[in-house]
Every structure is written in C-alpha cells, then in structure tokens.
Amino acid sequence: MTTTQSEKDRVVIFDTTLRDGEQCPGATMTHEEKIEVAELLDTMGVDIIEAGFPIASDGDFAAVNEIAKRAKNAVICGLSRASFKDIDRCAEAIKPAARTQVTRARNHTDDVEWSAEDGTRTEHDFLCRCVEGAINAGATTINIPDTVGYTVPEEYFALFEMVRQRVPNADKAVFSVHCHNDLGMAVANSLAGVKAGARQIECTINGIGERAGNTALEEVVMAMRVRNDVLPFWTGIDATSLLRASKLVGAATSFPIQYNKAIVGRNAFAHESGIHQDGMLKNTQTYEIMTPESVGVKQTSLVMGKHSGRHAFVHKLEELGYHLQSNQLEDAFMRFKTLADRKKHVYDEDIEALVDEEIATAQDRIKLVSLSVIAGTRGPQRATMRLDVEGKQLIEECEGNGPVDAVFNCVKAMVPHEAVLELYQVHAVTEGTDAQAEVSVRLSENGRSVTSKGADPDTLVASAKAYLGALNKLIIKRNRGMGETLVVGERRIHSTDVG
C-alpha cells in the first residue's frame, strides 16, 4: 500500500457472510463451519463480523456466543430487528420507536449501528429525520441499505451526500453501505457510497446473500487496492487470504463459485486467447492488473502420496490455513491415508475437500459406514448400505433406476423423510480419471432447502455422503425457528432491520 494512508480514508469491512449470507436459501452452515469461517475472517483482518441472528434459534445464539468468545481482532456483532416492520404505515411512529430501540441497545453496549431497511426507496425528509433521531439517541454507525438491490451508483452517491449534508449531527456517526446485487451493481454501488463519505462496507465472501446476493468482499477490497488512484481508500484486509476465504465459504455453504467470478473464480487469472498468452509471456503486466499471488493463488502443487507422514500432513494443513482440533486432525489424517492408498497423487484441492468435509460432518447424526453397489448394463442396479444413526447401526439393500437412485433409496428406507431432491451435480476435484468426485446435493422440505457436498474417488460413495450431508443439515434446520424481537449482541449490538 501507499505511504499516504490516512485514517479518514480507512474503510471498515463489516462482514455478514454468517448472517446475510447464511440466510440465503440453501446456504446453511453447521456450528463448526461457522466457527471455522469466523476464525479465518478474524485473522484476515475483517473489522466487524456479523456472526448471526441470535433470536432466530438457540443454534444461532450459540454460534454468535462462541465466535464472540474466540475472536481475537474483530468486533463481533449480532443482528436484531426493530419491532416495527411496516415502515410506511408506522411512518410517524417509527421516529420515537427507532430512538427507543437505539437507547435500549445503548444500555447493553456503547457501539450501536442503526439501519434503515430499504433506505434507498425511503422518502428523503423522513429518512433524514430518522437518521438524526438515531444519532441523537446514541447510534454510532448509520447504515443505509439498498435492501432490494434497486439503486445505481450515481443515485446511491447522491443519497449519501444528501443525508450527510442535511442531517445536522451527521459528523457524529460513521455511515455504512449495504447493497444487494439484484441488478449486478452491489459492488459499484458500495464504492459509490464510500466516495460520498461512507466509511463502512457491509459485504460477504463470494457475495453470497439473499436472492442475487450481496456485495462481494474480495471485489470491493481489490477494487480499492488496484484502482487506488481513483478510489483512494484502504482496508485492513490481508488480500492474500481472499482465495482461501472464498474456498472455505464455498465449501461450507456448498455454493459453487462461478468459474468467471472476479478475483476468486477458477478462470480469474487464466488467459486463454492466443494474443493474450503471447502478451503475458512477454510481460505479465500487459494483461494482468493484479497478480494471482496478491489474492492468494498458489501454483497447484503435487503435495503428497501414501508415504507422506503426519508431520507433512499437519504442515500442509497449516499452509492451507486450517487449524484443526486434535481429534478432527486425527480423523482427517486417517482419511488422508485412506485416500492416498486409492489415489496416486494427492493435490491441495484433495486435501481441502477432505478437511472441509471433516469439518462439515463433525456433528452429523447420520453417518455412512459402508456402501457397495452393483451397477452396469444388466439392471436393476442394487445398493447395500450400512449407516450409523445416532450410534445405532442400520443396514439396508435397495434396487433403483440406476445406481444413484439405488443408493438414495437405501437412505430413504433407513431414514424416512419427505425432502425432495432439487439438485444433483458431479464435479471432478482435480484433473485425471483417478480424480476425486465431488457431488453436490440440494434437498428441500417445507420451503427450506439445504445443499451439501461429498467427495470420494468413488462417485457413488461421494453421492451417498452428499445426500446424507444434506439430510443432516436439514435435521439441524428443522430445529430452527424464527423468534420475535430482541436486542442482544455480544460485544456489539447491530440494531437493524435489513433483509
């Protein structure tokens, strides 16, 4: 970075991957996955981690609580709603209401953010009065979100300028942007807000979030870094952690990252065209506005084989950014040995798939013990499966219309459920015919949907793991409910009503 950094140009990164991101359909994370993601966010320099919605369920509360205990650098906050949902109807009522909520939040902490849901479509006089009231009542951060992803950069810029000019006590609070990507402009809008004086960006890893998602953390961070000439702002993010964070969140949510995704997509630094390749060979700066290394891309390296020992494995995990508990480490090492017996070359991606699965399945109530399948041209295909269901061993043999169907029928026979299979996808983790298969499965039940992944050199075993993973997540989600109103965070309260 430049030597001219000044505090007034410092942009606070408020990460809401674990709240807004996790709230999007199918992106449910387990307790362990949330802790893992939070630890990485904490070490990579995120300023504020919105860790969840404590009132939503005991599970959310426990996650926020645990993350708050572990955080070393970041401020941890939880979301709470204001009690008044219908802003239009309660127009006159909300000003004192907002004040009451902020005052109440201030009784718990001195760090309060107030947020105007659907701020970009709110009438200006009313918005200014609410902001003034919230600051008077003690709000230290004012968030004006584009909840429905409707605004454009010029408009969002003008809105922040207007509010900051008209609200008499505007200099007493930090202004924050929170943009949704329905028209693909979340990043551009967020940066426009910063140019107009906002100094906090609410964003998520990979831009996950409701509907078309949120502002992608990796994109705003790199935009300000690469184009610091026109966006002279800076953050505390260690950019070399961006790829690792992207992969971890991709694995935890089972949301695949599009190949052409800016900054972290598989093709983000691949130059296919002959002219470009030629230019790249002569001078990498010809077509490269940033280096792959600057966002944490490493050359895929041949890592290990079956002769690699525990020490090398632990070293590799550290290099990839994992910090496992000793029992998890033991399990992961055993799974690595099993994999290395079956697969000659074990790559970084294989290790990541293996460990991510280890973290994702640590709390599973249903586990795959063994599976054998008879497949081929002469049907019907048959599967024999043994499961561990909360410590009880069950076995079942089923036929199916194809081997995958036979495998899933075994699960249905042993764990009866109404969930519908919405998606079944197979990817190869690396290249080669001995590559591990990575299967993604999405199940939905009563409007709730969950996605899970399973990896194995055997596609059918990977399919069984993915299906069971989704079923386990669905069981966790069944126990969740939505509550009423509450204003309790851990070290910070985030009093908002953001969608």
**How many whole angstroms separate alpha carbon 235 and alpha carbon 238?**
9
* Window of 16-24, 84-92, 237-245, 337-345 that interacts with Zn ion by CB under 5 A: 16-24
Q: How far is CA 201 from CA 28, 142, 174, 284, 355, in A?
A: 23, 11, 11, 31, 31
Q: Is 95 helix (H, G, I), strand (E, B) or coil?
A: helix
Comparing CB distances to Zn ion, the nearer of 160 and 347 is 160
Nearest to 145 by CA among 214, 87, 70, 88: 214
Comparing CB distances to Zn ion, the nearer of 264 and 498 is 498
Q: Is 7 helix (H, G, I), strand (E, B) or coil?
A: helix
Contact of 10 with 340, CB cutoff 8 Å:
no
Comparing CB distances to Zn ion, the nearer of 102 and 203 is 203
Binders of Zn ion among residues 432 to 471 (CB under 5 A) are none
Start-to-end C-alpha separation, the chain: 35
Comparing CB distances to Zn ion, the nearer of 55 and 303 is 55
Q: How far is the CB of 27 from Zn ion (least distance, A)?
A: 13
Comparing CB distances to Zn ion, the nearer of 115 and 235 is 115
Comparing CB distances to Zn ion, the nearer of 20 and 357 is 20
Comparing CB distances to Zn ion, the nearer of 116 and 373 is 116
Site size for Zn ion (CB under 5 A):
2
Comparing CB distances to Zn ion, the nearer of 214 and 472 is 214
Comparing CB distances to Zn ion, the nearer of 20 and 42 is 20
Q: Is 11 helix (H, G, I), strand (E, B) or coil?
A: coil
Burial class (CB in 10 A: 0-12, 13-18, 19+), 405: middle
If binding is defined by CB under 5 A, does position 137 make contact with Zn ion? no
Q: How far is the CB of 405 from Zn ion (least distance, A)?
A: 39
Binders of Zn ion among residues 30 to 89 (CB under 5 A) are none
Please identify the residue of the shown chain whose CB is closest to the bound Zn ion. 20
Token pair in block for residue 417: 């459920």
Contact of 383 with 400, CB cutoff 8 Å:
yes
* Window of 18-26, 262-270, 306-314, 422-430 that interacts with Zn ion by CB under 5 A: 18-26
Q: How far is the CB of 305 from Zn ion (least distance, A)?
A: 45
Q: How far is the CB of 178 from Zn ion (least distance, A)?
A: 6
* Window of 3-11, 19-27, 159-167, 387-395 that interacts with Zn ion by CB under 5 A: 19-27
* Window of 14-22, 30-38, 122-130, 460-468 that interacts with Zn ion by CB under 5 A: 14-22
If binding is defined by CB under 5 A, does position 20 make contact with Zn ion? yes
Binders of Zn ion among residues 470 to 499 (CB under 5 A) are 498
If binding is defined by CB under 5 A, does position 348 make contact with Zn ion? no
Burial class (CB in 10 A: 0-12, 13-18, 19+), 450: buried
Q: How far is the CB of 147 from Zn ion (least distance, A)?
A: 6
Comparing CB distances to Zn ion, the nearer of 117 and 364 is 117
* Window of 13-21, 92-100, 380-388, 409-417 that interacts with Zn ion by CB under 5 A: 13-21
Q: Which residue has the tokens 């039940």?
A: 445
* Window of 12-20, 62-70, 149-157, 451-459 that interacts with Zn ion by CB under 5 A: 12-20
Q: How far is CA 156 from CA 126, 210, 399, in A?
A: 17, 20, 58
**β-sheet bridge partners, residue 175:** 142
Q: How far is the CB of 20 from Zn ion (least distance, A)?
A: 4
234 Rama sector, left if φ>0, alpha if ψ -120 to 50, beta otherwise:
beta
DSSP per-residue string spanning 246-305: HHHHHHHHT-PPPTT-TTTSTTTT---SHHHHHHHHH-GGGT-SS-GGGGT-----EEE-
* Window of 17-25, 52-60, 69-77, 266-274 that interacts with Zn ion by CB under 5 A: 17-25
Q: Is 372 helix (H, G, I), strand (E, B) or coil?
A: strand
Positions that interact with Zn ion (CB under 5 A): 20, 498
